[in-house]
């Protein structure tokens, strides 16, 4: 059984997030032979009386994922940089399209984009209504508005002049740039209901999800493939929610990789920050894993 490619979450959550931490983990990831680094998107953590954090989200600030990935790309040469998952409709399509294309060009075409609509269900952590309020975007923009947003971004990446007219978004006849290195950017769409997963198969370049329950993940990937999805499948994994020794970490990740391979995942991204917050400890875990996997170093 071939194991999936392995990506590593950057330290994007306080208190250890920051420029030095990102560089250290990104360069270690590249040096050790892993495939990619990634950063997730979290606009805010509510503190109001109606907020219920049953999902166990980290109660800390999340740094902006695109800036974190830009900084990582500037200090590496080979590894892919991946968003997982970017809540796209919080930004107008022309603005986000330009930001993504800029990062793609600065990284030499190394960008993959995990993208979502701000939640696949009405339950946290997949859906936090306070984020929509703060972004000034109605939750009703999800669905058809999300599909239209993707179409508008792809128009921005096409040859100039570009123009788009939809129900939710309009781009007057314009020159919009920069353009991505390869003419477009891979969009891996996050979804967890059958309808949205089948939609991801139709309009995305791949599918991205988090393995909260592997039985559910297996079903979701089956729906994606059955709907004609042939793109890259990326699965985010959380080996544990408490500190692990290097040997225990390696054992836990190997089990997750075996499960990911069994369900047909192409790529796995490891959430390190929930295991060990300090970057030096994260690198120690990665070194142990790379030694066990005997990864070819660049």
**Domain presence at residue 298:** no
The dihedral sign for the CA sequence 165, 168, 169, 172: positive
**Domain presence at residue 38:** yes
Would you state the pLDDT for residue 46?
A: 85
Instruction: Decide if 27 contacts 76 (C-beta within 8 A).
Output: yes
Q: Give me the helix-helix angle, 214-226 and 194-203, nearest 10°.
A: 50
CATH of the domain at 187: 3.20.20.30
CA distances to 42, 104, 259 from 63, in Å: 8, 19, 30
What long-range pairs does 51-59 form, CB within 8 A, spacing at least 24? 51/130, 52/124, 53/124, 54/124, 55/123, 55/124, 55/125, 56/241, 57/124, 57/125, 58/13, 58/273, 58/274
**Domain presence at residue 65:** yes
Distance CA 101, CA 109 (A): 9
**Domain presence at residue 129:** yes
**Domain presence at residue 273:** yes
Question: Number of folded domains in the chain?
Answer: 1
Strand, coil or helix: what is 283?
Answer: helix
Instruction: Decide if 174 contacts 162 (C-beta within 8 A).
Output: yes
Range of the domain at 192: 5-293
CA distances to 115, 141, 151, 176 from 167, in Å: 21, 10, 12, 20
**Domain presence at residue 163:** yes
Would you state the pLDDT for residue 157?
A: 98
Indicate the helix (H) or strand (E) that contains 171.
strand 170-174
pLDDT by position in tens, the chain (length 298): 688 999 999 999 888 899 999 999 999 999 999 999 999 898 988 888 877 776 666 778 889 999 999 999 999 999 999 998 999 999 999 999 999 999 999 999 999 999 999 865 555 556 788 899 999 999 999 999 999 999 999 999 999 999 999 999 999 999 999 999 999 999 999 999 999 999 999 999 999 999 989 999 999 999 999 999 999 999 999 888 777 899 999 999 999 999 999 999 999 999 987 776 789 999 999 999 999 999 887 7
Instruction: State the number of CA atoms in the 13 A half-sphere of 144 facing the CB.
Output: 5
Residue 138 sits at the vertex; the CA angle it makes with 209 and 146, to the nearest 5 degrees, is 45
DSSP structural state of residue 173? E
User: Distance from first CA to last CA of the chain, Å, rounded?
Assistant: 23
**Domain presence at residue 174:** yes
**Domain presence at residue 28:** yes
Tally Cβ neighbours within 10 Å of residue 277: 19
Output the six-digit token pair for 92.
């107008």
DSSP structural state of residue 4? P
Strand, coil or helix: what is 208?
Answer: strand
Q: Which of 249, 110, 125 is nearest to 185 (CA)?
A: 110
pTM, whole model, 2 decimals?
0.94
Tally Cβ neighbours within 10 Å of residue 15: 10
């Amino acid at each position: 059984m071939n194991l999936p490619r392995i990506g590593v979450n950057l330290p994007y959550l306080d208190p250890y997030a920051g420029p030095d931490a990102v560089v250290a983990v990104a360069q270690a990831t590249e040096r050790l032979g892993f495939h990619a680094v990634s950063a997730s998107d979290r606009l805010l953590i509510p503190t109001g009386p109606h907020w219920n954090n049953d999902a166990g989200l980290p109660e800390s600030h999340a740094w902006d994922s695109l800036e974190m990935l830009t900084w990582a790309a500037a200090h590496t040469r080979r590894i892919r940089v991946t968003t997982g998952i970017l809540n796209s409709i919080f930004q107008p399509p022309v603005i986000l399209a330009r930001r993504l294309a800029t990062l793609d060009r600065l990284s030499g075409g190394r960008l993959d984009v995990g993208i979502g609509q701000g939640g696949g269900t009405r339950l946290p952590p997949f859906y936090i209504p306070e984020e929509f309020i703060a972004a000034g975007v109605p939750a009703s923009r999800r669905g058809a508005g999300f599909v239209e947003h993707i179409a508008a971004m792809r128009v921005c990446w096409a040859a100039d002049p570009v123009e788009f007219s939809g129900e939710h978004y309009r781009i007057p006849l314009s020159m919009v740039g920069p353009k991505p290195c390869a003419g477009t950017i891979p969009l891996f769409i996050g979804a967890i209901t059958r309808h949205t997963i089948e939609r991801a198969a139709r309009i995305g370049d791949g599918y991205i999800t988090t393995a909260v329950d592997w039985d559910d993940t297996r079903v979701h990937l089956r729906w994606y493939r059955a709907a004609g999805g042939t793109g890259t499948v990326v699965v985010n994994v959380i080996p544990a929610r408490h500190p692990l020794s290097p040997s225990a970490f390696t054992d836990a990740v190997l089990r997750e990789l075996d499960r990911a391979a069994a369900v047909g995942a192409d790529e796995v991204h490891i959430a390190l920050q929930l295991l060990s917050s300090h970057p030096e400890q994260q690198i120690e875990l990665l070194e142990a894993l790379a030694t066990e996997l005997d990864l070819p170093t660049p």
